[in-house]
Amino acid sequence: MTDSFKGFSPGKPNTVAVHTQFFSEVLPLVDDLAEMKVLLFCYRALLQKSGTYRYLVRDDFLEDESLRQGLAVIEEDIEAALQRGLQRALEHRVLLAAEVEGQIFYFMNTVKGQAAVRQIAAGQFIPDTGNRVEILPERPTIFRLYEENIGQITPMLVDDLKDAEDEFPYEWLEDAMKIAVEQNKRSWKYVRAVLERWQKEGRNHETLERSGSTNGGFAGHRWSDYAE
């Protein structure tokens, strides 16, 4: 039995921007699955890079577990699949490459990518070989956070959670739910009250004393401050 996709998580999606030209001009050119997977990886990975010119090196591709798994589906020799995907992307000029001291740097064929390749050829730009990409893990949506920390989502909670996702920073949502778990107050009412207090007073005013608290909450505040 083959693995199947369980569906996209509800709530605000984690997205990666793709050029509209990818669908109108690049997609008709792509005739190799390895090339497609390499190109999609480039879109995601380049978002994690910084600097005037964003680029990838071969190890950036090989060290990403999701890409490795994707290439392994195509053939056992992952490096061969990667090489073929990169070569096809270069032939179609979706990617550009420049070599510096034996290291090949890959750029998306954008205005900046073209400028970087020209400057490398002219000796005006030398990429930093230590500027490695780190693919950040996807952050769970508020729905997953709630289910993993608080409990089952009821239909009445859906709109409240969506509103909170728009209203509060992700880190606040995550931390407030962790606090609810630590204080054994697993309810949305408690989480929402913590968020609203932070919004009103600022988080700097909260002294989180997760141990030694006799009221099951924060220092200087009663449980009723959050529950009522």
104 membership: H or E segment, kind and range:
strand 103-108
What three-state secondary structure class fits 97? strand
- The CA angle 75-68-141, to the nearest 5 degrees, is 135
> Check: CATH 3.10.20 for 20-121?
no
Q: Is residue 142 within 8 Å of 161, Cβ to Cβ?
A: yes
Separation between Cα atoms, residue 93 and residue 164, nearest integer Å: 44
Strand partners, 108: 95
**Do the first three CATH levels of 20-121 and 142-227 match, i.e. the same topology?**
yes
User: In this predicted structure, what is the pLDDT of residue 213?
Assistant: 42
Separation between Cα atoms, residue 25 and residue 5, nearest integer Å: 28
CATH of 142-227, one of 1.10.3470, 3.30.420, 1.10.10, 2.10.240: 1.10.10
Q: Is residue 151 within 8 Å of 141, Cβ to Cβ?
A: no
Burial 12-26 (b: 16+ CB within 10 A, else e): eeeeeeeeeeeeeeb
User: In this predicted structure, what is the pLDDT of residue 101?
Assistant: 87
What three-state secondary structure class fits 107? strand
Q: Look-up: residue for tokens 């798994």?
A: 69
Q: Where are the alpha helices (DSSP H) in 125-187?
A: 142-149, 155-167, 170-182
User: In this predicted structure, what is the pLDDT of residue 2?
Assistant: 62
Percentage of the chain beyond pLDDT 90 is 51
Residue 217, pLDDT > 50, answer: no
pLDDT in tens, 156-212: 888 888 889 889 998 899 999 999 999 998 999 999 999 999 998 887 645 443 443
pTM score, whole prediction? 0.60
Q: Is residue 215 within 8 Å of 187, Cβ to Cβ?
A: no
pLDDT in tens, 168-182: 998 899 999 999 999
The residues spanned by each domain of the chain are 20-121, 142-227
pLDDT in tens, 38-64: 999 999 999 888 788 899 999 999 999
**For residue 5, what are the CA distances in angstroms to 2, 11, 60, 111, 217?**
10, 17, 26, 36, 40
Long-range contacts, stretch 90-97, CB < 8 angstroms, 24+ apart: 92/26, 92/29, 92/30, 92/35, 94/26, 94/29, 94/39, 95/39, 95/42
Residue 95, pLDDT > 90, answer: yes
